[in-house]
Amino acid sequence: MDAVQRQLQALYKEGYKSIAICLLHSYTFPDHEQQIGELAKSIGFDHVSLSSQVMPMVKVVPRGTSATADAYLTPCIKKYIKGFVSGFDDGFEKGTTQLQFMQSDGGLVPVSNFSGFKAILSGPAGGVVGYALTTFDKHAKVPVIGFDMGGTSTDVSRFDGHYEHVFETTTAGVTIQAPQLDINTVAAGGGSMLFFKNGMFVVGPEVSSF
């Protein structure tokens, strides 16, 4: 543990304030991760993500990338939430007003439990829930396809009366183990077009000549 402490202190001295901790068998034996996490907090790290808490599943690599994504994103989200809440009166702090955020799985969670790795597809998930509630006919039961083009991605999904979930996805090359609505990103947003090129049907950014 002395060697771990020295390594953590070296990282903290270099300027790192958020850290992810992932040990090989922590999904079934989390004690050592928890000890390292407590040590990191005592050194001064602002945020510590333990893979055994983020997603206690086998497969150390996706579990590690999930914890890393959480360590990277959660501090940014907390900073945003702090700024958002500061624009209101003290209702949020006293608990008289509920504040909830949507997660990638389409469910709402109290602001205190909102974390980065479960928020990667929270925006598109909101779109799925929205069109599922407004466009799906429960009597006709005709499946509905969602096409959500934003400034950074084009997301496609399908709703046939129940929400389809996946538990491991790769987004921007990062594998995340977390319950998410089955949403597929097919192209970059803003300027994306469907067109034929060299005899092939292509999806992606393209400058229009019109």
How distant, in Å, are the alpha carbons of 64, 98, 131 from that of 28? Answer: 15, 35, 39
Q: What is the pTM of this model?
A: 0.77
The secondary structure element, H or E, covering residue 38 is helix 31-43
The pLDDT of 140-148, averaged and rounded, is 93
pLDDT of 184 > 80? The answer is yes
CB count in 10 Å sphere of residue 129: 17
pLDDT of 157 > 80? The answer is yes
**CA-based torsion, 76, 80, 83, 88: positive or negative:** negative
The pLDDT of 180-187, averaged and rounded, is 84
What is the distance between the alpha carbons of residues 43 and 205, in angstroms, rounded to a whole number? 46
Confidence of residue 1 (pLDDT cuts 50, 70, 90): confident
pLDDT cut 90: percent of the chain above it? 55
| Contact in structure between 187 and 154 (CB atoms under 8 Å) | yes
Which of 179, 149, 201 minimizes the C-alpha distance to 55?
A: 179
The pLDDT of 78-90, averaged and rounded, is 84
Give the tokens for residue 87.
């624009």
Look at residue 31 in the predicted model and tell me its pLDDT. 96
Look at residue 27 in the predicted model and tell me its pLDDT. 93
Q: What's the mean pLDDT when you consider all of the chain?
A: 87
The pLDDT of 6-32, averaged and rounded, is 95
What is the distance between the alpha carbons of residues 126 and 118, in angstroms, rounded to a whole number? 13
What is the distance between the alpha carbons of residues 137 and 102, in angstroms, rounded to a whole number? 24
Look at residue 210 in the predicted model and tell me its pLDDT. 45
pLDDT of 30 > 60? The answer is yes
Look at residue 46 in the predicted model and tell me its pLDDT. 95
